[in-house]
Structure formats: structure tokens, C-alpha cells
Structure 1
């Protein structure tokens, strides 16, 4: 089942989020945090409007792919897009980072997360991004690996924040 953007298979569509779906996306993000870390400090009712406002303000740098069945959002994946420093051979350079990929528990282990990953990678190719990175959960490493992500010894990170938000 290789879904591409806007393709529908088995009544499931994988496509860029529509503005009216942002509250459902916010709820899935809240549920993801609750599932991994326990009840968030912010209530769902407090989080949703703040998240929707954030998503609208950052839509040029953070784009959301949704997986929808019968008008219900069942999965999300974000593509954060950033400009890179110009190079003499390529002045316009962009990279991406896959963030917050989540499929509702009842829909897992059927390859839908992989379909979201493929859709985000296709989107990145369409946007002309040079590379796409991901900071994966342990559970999802194999899914990202199956879709072309590789460990890169040159990609390093330093934890500089006070807390781990996920």
C-alpha cells in the first residue's frame, strides 16, 4: 500500500493538513505526549488553541502531513524546513527534519507510519530539500530505516535544553 500525497487507499488519505484539521492534529500531539510521558502539565483544552495558533504562525517552516480515514485524522507527521548557509555551487539550500510522527494506537502495526514517512519524504523531494533528518523513538528506528534513513557518523547533537519535551 504505497500512499502518495492525496492518494486514497482503503478509505485512508495521506495529504497535507487542512486548516480545519489543526485542532485534531493538536489533540494527537497531546495524546502522543500523554502516551510517552504521562498526563501533560497543560490540559488538552489549554493546549489545542495554543497549538493551532503556533501551527498557523509557523506554516512556512513547519508543515504537517495527515493521515485521514473517513474525515478523522488518525496520523500526523511534521516536516520542519530550514534554510542552509549558501554554498558557491548552490546558493539556495534547504534541509528538513521529520518531527512528531504519530499514528493512533488502534491503527498501528499496519504500515501506516511508514506511509506517512514516505509521504513526508516525497514532499521533501518536491520542495527540493537536500536532506531530511529525524530524531526517532526507539520503537520507530526500524520504520525509518526501512524508508531510507541511515545512521550518519557526521550528524552530531548536543542536548542544551533544560528539559526533555519529546
Structure 2
């Protein structure tokens, strides 16, 4: 799954594809910078966060898959697909659903449709995996992008905040 993105007939040398193991540190840096952008400084330094994030990503790679957007060898965006097994029923014993998480494009690359390309790539991946549905908990800014790519409000999808801390 490799998408070459083109803008105004000029090759932009951007690819959207599953993360490679050597790129996990760059993805961790994106996540750290994103949280800094939204919430300000945190209790953990970038140097402390990156190795913990990389270890987490390796431990959860069967349930959390990362799509990256890269220009040449530089990761400029990411989107995660969290996969959950669903309870079997007599018509479909093996069932799975997905949740799009942490879709992010670096600030200097925004407003060019790149987030939408990440969303499309993750949805294509979900179809390949045979997922029943994909959900997302979006920021206000990104709701229009998800809507343009087929996400709709569902009157049956509810949520309850049960955690103490809330992080994006």
C-alpha cells in the first residue's frame, strides 16, 4: 500500500505507507510535539518519551498499526488504526472493528489535503483487514476532513468519560 501524492501536476515526493521499524522514533517525536502544541509542556522530556513510545509501539503492533506520510526519508504525518476484536455471533465468528487515532500532520504541511490522504490510506487498510467499521474521536478542526472521507455521526455510538486524565 503506497500512495504517491501529487499537487498541481508537480511531483511532491510524498508517500503514505505503513510505518517502518526505523521510523518509530520519528513517529514518537511527532506525537510528543503534537501534545506540546495542544497542551503545552509536559512532565516528560522528548528524550524520555521517545524510547518508551517506541517500546509501546513494538509491543502493540498487532493491535495498533501506524500509517506514516513521508517526504523522502522525513516523516511529516501519521495516523494510527487501533484494531479491536469484537464478540462473535453465529453469522460472523471473527469480527473486528477499528478506531482511527492520532492523525497528525506537521504544522508547516497542513491545509494541503495531506490529512485527508492519511484518512483515506487508513480506511483502505481497514477494508483490506476486513474490519466491520471504523470510528474516530476527532478534534473540532478535523471533523470536516473526516466527514469528507465518509465518516458520519451515529446516533448509536455513545461514550462515557471514565478516566481521570484526558489527553489527546
Q: Structure 2 length normalisation: TM-score? A: 0.95
Q: Which residue of 2 aligns with 1:164?
A: 166
Question: What is the TM-score when the length of structure 1 is the normalising length?
Answer: 0.96
Q: Deviations over 1:83-139 (max 9, x none)?
A: 000011100000000000000000000000000000000000000000000000000
* Deviations 1:54-93, CA, capped at 9 Å, x for gaps: 0000000000000000110000000000000001110000
Q: Which has the higher contact order (CA 8 A, sep 6+)?
A: 1
Aligned-residue CA RMSD (Å):
0.6
Contact 1:64 1:78 in 2 (8 A): yes
Partner of 1:61: 63
1:72 matched residue in structure 2: 74
Give yes or no for the alignment of 1:24 onto 2:26: yes
Counterparts in 2 of 1:10-159, with a 5 A limit?
10-159=12-161
* Count of matched residue pairs: 162
Unaligned runs of 5+ in 1: none
Say whether the 8 Å CA contact 1:30–1:40 is kept in structure 2.
Answer: no
**Residue in structure 2 matching 1:6, options 2, 6, 21:** 2
> Partner residue of 2:8?
none
Describe the SS at the equivalent of 2:43. coil
Distance in 1 (alpha carbons) for counterparts of 2:105 and 2:46: 18
Distance in 1 separating the partners of 2:120 and 2:42:
30
Secondary structure at 2:99 match in 1: strand
SS across alignment from 2:164: coil
2: CA distance between counterparts of 1:142 and 1:96?
Answer: 20
Instruction: Give yes or no for contact 1:13–1:67 (8 Å, CA) kept in 2.
Output: yes
